């Protein structure tokens, strides 16, 4: 496979035999980064190198698994600690807030990135350089999305001025499509995708479609985008190849979506097998506590009525 992958300081190239199965899609680490030089920090590189990537891998990139628990988080790097120490000494310095947030972002520590950059969210206007301000807000928006703080991500997105063009605009629209999808806003999800592929030829649009496929399916507008994409399919020698690539996006996005359903099914199966996941146990305990409190309340009311202390 031709794309580069960056994992916290080490590079890893997959051979064809290493390609992940559909079941493993939702276990893909969010630390996978597809690099394209100066576009490295943009969400999904703004699609800068989609032409070099397999469509299946673009779909995998769009998967947003739940963040790691605190016990699984990696230790802070020396470079990050140095910036953190500076910020501790000057806690209101917006440049240091931005610098530390960027360090956490590069380390894929989404929660820490959010906690740090939220302190400077409403002061982003103090960053006088327009590109730097855009970068700050986009990193906070993506980190919030990666951390499954979708309402927060949406609120930050509303404060970002959509770039006029370039990969920065594509990154904004790709992230907006994902966030609107999580907010169950079908109209804005579709609008973000439509703007992303507007005026683009099939070769570019197919990668953007793969990147947005799961969000489009989540809100039920994927079928309508198939018609749009069909209108971009080229004629001649590439016609059959373009149709096959569309089938790849359709089938992989369906399987990826079914992966979420499989996770829910496995949770139910484990519960019936007497091995309930932690979330099920917590929900059961909460329900039991509620029932006990309700029972105590009923008993107290009966006791008060018995002694003529309550009507």
- CA distance linking residue 305 with residue 240, whole number of Å: 80
Q: What is the pLDDT of residues 257-307, one digit of tens each?
A: 654 544 444 444 445 555 555 665 677 788 888 888 888 878 877 777 776
pTM metric for this prediction: 0.72
Q: What is the pLDDT of residues 118-150, one digit of tens each?
A: 999 999 999 999 999 999 999 999 999 999 999
- Contact between 108 and 30 under an 8 Å Cβ cutoff? The reply is yes
Q: How confident is the model at residue 308 (pLDDT cuts 50, 70, 90)?
A: low
**Long-range own/partner contacts, residues 223-232 (CB < 8 A, 24 or more apart):** 224/190, 225/190, 225/193, 226/250, 228/194, 228/197, 229/202, 229/205, 232/197, 232/200, 232/201, 232/202, 232/205
């Amino acid at each position: 496979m031709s794309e580069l992958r960056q994992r916290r300081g080490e590079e890893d190239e997959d051979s064809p035999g290493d390609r992940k199965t559909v079941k493993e899609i939702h276990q893909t680490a969010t630390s996978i980064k597809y690099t394209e030089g100066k576009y490295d920090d943009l969400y999904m590189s703004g699609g800068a190198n989609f032409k070099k990537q397999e469509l299946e891998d673009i779909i995998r990139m769009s998967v947003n698994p739940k963040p790691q628990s605190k016990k699984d988080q990696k230790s802070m790097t020396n470079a990050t600690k140095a910036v953190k120490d500076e910020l501790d000494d000057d806690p209101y310095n917006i440049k240091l807030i931005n610098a530390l947030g960027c360090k956490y972002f590069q380390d894929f520590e989404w929660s820490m990135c959010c906690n740090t950059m939220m302190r400077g969210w409403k002061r982003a206007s103090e960053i006088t350089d327009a590109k730097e301000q855009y970068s700050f807000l986009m990193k906070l928006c993506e980190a919030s999305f990666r951390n499954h703080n979708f309402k927060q991500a949406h609120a930050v997105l509303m404060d970002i001025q959509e770039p006029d063009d370039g990969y920065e605009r594509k990154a904004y629209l790709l992230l907006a499509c994902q966030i609107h999808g999580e907010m169950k806003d079908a109209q804005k999800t579709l609008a973000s995708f439509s703007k992303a592929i507007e005026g683009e030829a099939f070769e570019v649009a197919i990668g953007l479609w793969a990147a947005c496929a799961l969000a489009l399916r989540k809100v039920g507008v994927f079928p309508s985008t198939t018609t749009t994409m069909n209108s971009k399919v080229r004629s001649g020698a590439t016609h059959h190849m373009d149709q096959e690539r569309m089938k790849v996006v359709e089938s992989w996005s369906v399987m990826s979506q079914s992966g979420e359903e499989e996770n829910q099914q496995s949770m139910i199966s484990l519960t019936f097998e007497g091995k309930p996941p932690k979330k099920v146990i917590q929900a059961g305990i909460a329900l039991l506590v509620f029932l006990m409190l309700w029972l105590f309340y009923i008993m107290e009311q009966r006791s008060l009525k018995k002694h003529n202390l309550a009507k």
